[in-house]
Amino acid sequence: MVIDMNEAQVSTVEKMRQVLAGTQALEFRQAGDDAGRYAWIDAVLRRMDYRQLKRPERGVALAYLQRLSGYSRAQVTRLVSRWMARKPLVKQYRAPEHAFAQRYTPLDVALLAEVDRAMGTLSGPATACVLRRQRDVFGDARFERLGSLSVGHLYNLRNSATYRDRRVVQTKTQPTKAVTIGTRRAPAPEGRPGFIRIDSVHQGDLDGAKGLYHINAVDCVTQWEVTATVQTISDAHLLPVIEQMLDQFPFTILGFHADNGSEYINHRVAGMLNKLCIEFTRSRPRHSNDNGLAETKNGAVVRKIFGYGHIPQHHAAHFNTFCVEFLNPFLNFHRPCLFSTDVPDPKKPGRIKRTYRPKDAMTPLDKLASLPDAASFLREGTTLEDLRQRACALTDLEAGAELNEARAALFRRVIERTA
């Protein structure tokens, strides 16, 4: 706040000392801007004949100006130095003649909002990968600038007013008795695809009625994900769906890892896996990361797509069809995932630090294709070329838009049948 002092009675250095000591009362009033304070400082310096003061007296005068003007010591010193050089005390700042060039236009921000709407607002590195693929893989000229967008500036654009104008965006596991089914240890894929982690997601209760269940299976190495929906998690409904899910993976399944829920830890599932020569492992106590990948995908994919509300069980067949025809192809051919890189920890010699670099974001298909001798892991009759052709049938944005339309139609059906 600018202060214009009515302190003409302060005409000596001794009176300034009394003001600083708090023994001299002053009457003052508020002024409007810095110009008033600059004029007051000029008047005080002239009245005190500042050029003729000795060094200790100048220190008192500077402290007086600092106390009553509200400026910092450095600012007062600069103003006094300017006055001593017989320069006028006026503000020297002026707005630049030319503003900084803006690289990303409002159209680019609107296009980013369209990408986030179609892809479900992925993480920064994954979204940057989608933008890059739209430009380089699918040749979309609209992404000429966005294809080079950094992850840091991507979040700046998401925080802009232009972006915000376009986008506004449980049942506990029951304990079971100790059984000897499955081996209690974490999967050990050793860089090979085919070791999946599986988990269940319940779609809520309503007035005592159970909702349907989603089954989510994710490969440890490639993050290839297959989601299905069942009416209940009883053997009659679950076993056929698990067999259907295993057949949707393009590579041979070598390992099956689950938590300790009774829907998987039972002799029917163990017998089916033993018949298919698939290793059966389950989570260890006090090792929450054993099935962490599947649980992470439950929140990042299943809950994001289907939400938390109750969905009646009799809609399970329609939701399972949606997963097979729209969701699973989108997840594996068009939705980038982050993959970790192990590097030596500079702070702890001998330790390995796991990092997630933006350049390592890629789709599960791209990760599968990047593995050494990837073709040797594929099922008989499946080739990488066939998978790439399916992936290129739609761009990432077209696949995302198709997924959103199918999901909207699916939930309209649920609302109409429930009403």
pLDDT-wise least confident of 93-102, 129-138, 406-415: 93-102
Same domain as 189, residue 288: yes
Same domain as 297, residue 255: yes
**Quick one: pLDDT at residue 223?**
94
271 CB-side CA count, 13 A: 5
Q: Where are the beta strands (DSSP E) in 82-211?
A: 183-184, 195-202, 205-206, 209-210
Same domain as 208, residue 121: no
Average pLDDT over residues 136-148: 93
**What is the count of structural domains for the chain?**
3
Instruction: Evaluate whether residue 100 is within a structural domain.
Output: no
Contact (Cβ atoms closer than 8 angstroms) between residue 302 and residue 218: no
Which residue type sits at 227?
A: T
Residue 96 has pLDDT above 80, yes or no: no
DSSP secondary structure code for residue 286 in this structure: T
DSSP secondary structure code for residue 248 in this structure: H
Our CA angle for 346, 347, 352, nearest 5°, is: 60
The CATH number assigned to the domain holding 191 equals: 3.30.420.10
In angstroms, rounded to a whole number, what is the distance separating the alpha carbons of residues 91 and 294? Answer: 62
**How do 279-282 and 183-184 pair as beta strands?**
parallel
Sign of dihedral through CA atoms 283, 288, 293, 295? positive
Same domain as 75, residue 150: no
Instruction: Express as a percent the part of the chain with pLDDT over 70.
Output: 90
Same domain as 281, residue 144: no
Instruction: Evaluate whether residue 92 is within a structural domain.
Output: no
Our CA angle for 402, 407, 412, nearest 5°, is: 130
Instruction: Evaluate whether residue 67 is within a structural domain.
Output: yes
Instruction: Evaluate whether residue 95 is within a structural domain.
Output: no
Instruction: Evaluate whether residue 117 is within a structural domain.
Output: yes
> pLDDT tens across 73-84, in order?
898 999 899 899
Distinct helix (H) and strand (E) counts, the chain: 17, 12
* 31 confidence band (pLDDT: 50, 70, 90): very low
**Quick one: pLDDT at residue 27?**
46
Same domain as 375, residue 312: yes
Same domain as 143, residue 52: no
Instruction: Evaluate whether residue 263 is within a structural domain.
Output: yes
Instruction: Evaluate whether residue 91 is within a structural domain.
Output: no
Instruction: Evaluate whether residue 19 is within a structural domain.
Output: yes
30: containing domain: 3-84
* 13 confidence band (pLDDT: 50, 70, 90): confident
Same domain as 240, residue 191: yes
| Residues 6 or more apart whose Cβ sits within 8 Å of residue 358 | 124, 125, 128, 129, 151
> pLDDT tens across 360-393, in order?
999 999 999 999 999 999 999 999 999 999 999 9
Same domain as 78, residue 115: no
